Structures are given as C-alpha cells and as structure tokens.
Amino acid sequence: MKTMLAARMHEIGGPLLLEQIPMPEPRPTDVLVAVRACGVVPNLKNVLTKWPEWFPHLPLPKLPAIFGLDPAGVVAEVGSQVQSIRSGDRVYVNPARGCGSCRACRSGEIVNCRGFTFQGYFGRGPLSQGVFDAYPYGGLSEYITAPQSALVKLPDNVSFEAAARFGYLGTAYAAIRKAGAGPGRSLLINGIGGTLGLCAALVGLATGVTKIFGTGRNKVLLDRVKALAPARIEVFSVGKRPVQDWAMEMTDNEGVDAVIDTLPPGAPASAMLDALRALRRGGRAVDVGGVAETLPLNVHWMMGMNIQLIGSCWFTTGEGQEMAEMARAGTLDLSVLEHRRIALREVNNALSSLQDANRGFNNFVVIPSR
C-alpha cells in the first residue's frame, strides 16, 4: 500500500503529529493533488486551539484530522471521469465545499449551502461532517483529493507559494466586487496592514480602484503599504481622531464610495463603526473581517444616507480563476509577498510563533516536500 506523510491533530490544542497514512485514490470526478505549498493563515492557530469554545456553531472535523486551508500544487492523478484537467497541471485548490445537491449547490452558490465547509479547516453546520468524510485531507499533507470543480489553474508566473495566499486574495476580490469598487471609485480598507487588508489593497490596485485609503495602527507597516502605489494609496494611523474626519478631508467632504472591513478577530465593533462613518451618501460597505461583537448600528442613518452593509464569505472558484488571470496579465502584482517557507515537520513550532509575526507582507507556507 502506498502511504504519504500528513500532519494530524488528535486532540484540540494538541500538537499536530506527523504520520504515514494511506495515500488516497481519487474518485471518478476528483483529482489527487501533490501539495507544493499550503498557506498557514494567522487564524489557523485559533482554529486548532480555541474554535470549539469561541464558535461552537462552526464544527471542526472529527479527530484525528488533517488541517490546512489553502493548498496549491500539481495534479498527480485524475479520476476516470475528469476530462479537462490533466496530470501535471499546476493548481490552487479552492477549499470551499458544499453538500453538492441542495438548491444553493445546484445553482453553483456553494458558499450559500447549509453544509458549507472549508476542507482542511472548519464547517458551518451539522451537514459539515458529511463533507469532511468525503474530503478529509487538508493541505498539511503530501497529497490531497479535491473535486475537479474546485481547481483554479495557475499560470506559470504564479508560484505555489503565492497561490497559497489565494484564500485571502479571493476573499478580498469577492468583497471588492460586492462593494462595486473599481475605476473612478474610492475604497477605504479598514485594517490595511493585516493579512486580509494587504490582499484587499493588492486586488484593489489590480482591479483599477482609483484611490485606496487604508487605516492601521503600525506606522512602519502603513508606510510600506503606501509605497506600493504612492499616488493611489493614502494611509491613516487610527487612534488620534475619527476615521471619518480624515476621510472627509481626503475626499473634499464627500466621503468614500466603499469600505471593506478586514479587522482581525477580537477587534471591537467601535473600530468598524468608525470606518463605516467615512462612507458617502449611497456608499457601500462589505465586511470580510473578524469583528464578532454586535454593532450598535443606527439604521435610521443607514436609511437616510442610502447606505448598504454587506457580509461576504469566501469566493467562488470562478473568482479564483479571475485572480489567476489578473496575475497572469500582471495587473495583480504578488511580488511584494515575502514567503516564509516551513517544512511540514516544523509546523508545530511555526504555529506557535505566528502570532507575533502577524503582518500582511509575510506569507507563511508549509512545503510538505521539504
């Protein structure tokens, strides 16, 4: 029997154990992918240690389980009914899974499935374990199986390491689309120095957003973000005065067209409200961040100002492919990401040191073959 190396968690908060497990065979419409890089996002540590306590409605897979949200690699084998993907194709695996047969899934809206589940991460309800049973392999493993419909084909100029950031980039891209941001529009990114915030800035530049305003706390990091495109990006250190005052100053008292909130878990509702007040009349806000506190939101202000507030979760494989194409064309520039490569056997050490290194420019990836 062929085996492969995988990092499995046996108990919540326990170390990931490196184990040889049977190599899976792809079912007829699935593929087997040799993982070359898997993103290790700052939130993975929370998922492995605190998730059942923080979010009991977002179930983890039955243990032992293999985690790892954002795998990229090479197709090693295709199922008997796979026609348009070949062995050797370079791919990013979108980990978004649905039940496959509900009304949402049949409409191609997997993120709206009641069983919506992140392969290698966590689910959103009682249907999720069925999805984990079908796709039990996270990216912290030498190989994973995945549905053919979940693959984003990568152009040669996108490295596996950069592709391992597609989860956050795609989340940002879906938010930018929902916000209606683009040429001639201004966009305020709340928390622009973080992993998600920097991705929103890169995708905003790629999609032609005319003016990007970014808030943050770390001045050095804010200056680095501004340097990406000094004529299009303005940054603001929060704390001294309201975001709204600054935004009005920068927009001739109109306010910004769109706000994308990318604040990390634990950020207070007040920090999100502060940014929402920067919207112009008719503006649109999209939340993709980690704020979990209930907002004391004045809906009368929203009505009178014609304001929209939209929640956005993840992205479609189609949106993932559009990002790959922007990168192929060079409008999406991923060269600023600093890849921090971690061998699979070093994953436990890496996870415990991630929290003090939570900056958007760092791109932590596990390389299973190292």
Interface with Zn ion (CB under 5 A): 98-99, 102, 105, 113
Pairwise CA distance, residues 13 & 264, whole Å: 21
Distance of closest approach, residue 99 Cβ to Zn ion, in angstroms:
3
User: Strands 151-153 and 90-93: what pairing?
Assistant: antiparallel
Nearer to Zn ion among residue 113 and residue 324 (C-beta)? 113
> Would you list the DSSP string of 12-73?
TTSPEEEEEEEPP---TTEEEEEEEEEE--THHHHHHHTHHHH-TTSPPPSSSEE--SEEEE
Token pair belonging to 30: 């699935």
Distance of closest approach, residue 58 Cβ to Zn ion, in angstroms:
17
Partner residues linked to 237 by β-bridges? 216
What are the distances in angstroms from CA 198 to CA 124, 134, 211, 216? 26, 34, 15, 11
Distance of closest approach, residue 115 Cβ to Zn ion, in angstroms:
5
Distance of closest approach, residue 317 Cβ to Zn ion, in angstroms:
15
Closest CA to 166 of 289, 322, 277, 299: 322
Nearer to Zn ion among residue 125 and residue 182 (C-beta)? 125
Pairwise CA distance, residues 144 & 33, whole Å: 5
Amino acid at 174: A
Nearer to Zn ion among residue 107 and residue 349 (C-beta)? 107
Distance of closest approach, residue 103 Cβ to Zn ion, in angstroms:
8
Distance of closest approach, residue 224 Cβ to Zn ion, in angstroms:
41
Nearer to Zn ion among residue 21 and residue 104 (C-beta)? 104
Report which residue's Cβ sits closest to Zn ion. 113
Nearer to Zn ion among residue 15 and residue 130 (C-beta)? 130
Nearer to Zn ion among residue 102 and residue 305 (C-beta)? 102
Block residue for tokens 């030498």: 142
